[in-house]
Amino acid sequence: MKKFVLGTAFLMFISSLPAEATNKHTFSLKTSSDSQQMTFMQSFGETLPPIGYVNFCRERSAECRPTRRFTDRIQLTRERAAALRKLNVAVNNAITPVTDMDLYGEVERWTYPVKKGDCEDYVLLKRRILIQRGWPATALLITVVRDESNEGHAVLTVQTDRGDFVLDNKVNQVKAWADTPYTFVKRQSARNPLVWISLLPPDLEPQPVTSASNRR
């Protein structure tokens, strides 16, 4: 699941934004030479959820129920683009990255962070804040990837009409998924948060990713 170039329509959209909305903390316009023209992730059927997410839902079942209101993708306006940027920067700056083992003495524990947390904790907090602000939960999907070191990592995918974007605690930029250095492994189903969807083609032999927090 490697890189794909941003579509022409989206490049035109971003170029129309004011300068302050395209600085180093906002949407990346970089594209890779080996990219193909694709802005949306492809999915390949159901897969197992991370064990940390399973335990999180046992403790907070109300937050893992399907919603009656289904919105597949949100319209990415200037205001929403700016809101995503500001939120990503704010949460990244507010939380200190610490592994679950260092913080809780556990390999994998998903929870809302208070001052410190692992990668999935950033994701949970950003998602909750956006939902509280009226963003549809069905367009905000917890996603597990493999990072540059082939370690498990979690990011928040925001599904928009301009493509799929990633909020990541490692960087303040809100990037198109295709412009990250990650291999995308799996994410929540938009229709049912208890169901997880594979992002790896069936002809690839996926490496087990039961933990999303091998790396901060």
Residue 203 located in a structural domain: no
**41 within 8 A of 199, measured Cβ to Cβ:** yes
> In the predicted model, what is the mean pLDDT of residues 67-85?
89
Residue 209 located in a structural domain: no
pTM for the model stands at: 0.79
Residue 58 located in a structural domain: yes
CATH code at 184? 3.10.620
Residue 216 located in a structural domain: no
Q: Residue 27 — very low, low, confident or very high, per pLDDT cuts 50/70/90?
A: low
Residue 205 located in a structural domain: no
Total structural domains within the chain = 1
Tens-place pLDDT, residues 38-55: 689 989 999 999 999 999
Tens-place pLDDT, residues 105-139: 999 999 999 999 999 999 999 999 999 999 999 99
Q: What is the DSSP letter of 5?
A: B
Residues 6+ apart with CB under 8 A from 112: 121, 124, 125, 128
Residues 100-137: b if buried by 16+ CB within 10 A, e if exposed: beebeeeebbbbebeeebbbbbbbbbbbeebeeeebbb
Residue 6 has pLDDT above 50, yes or no: no
In which domain, by residue range, is 166 found?
Answer: 8-198
Residue 195 has pLDDT above 70, yes or no: yes
Residue 204 located in a structural domain: no
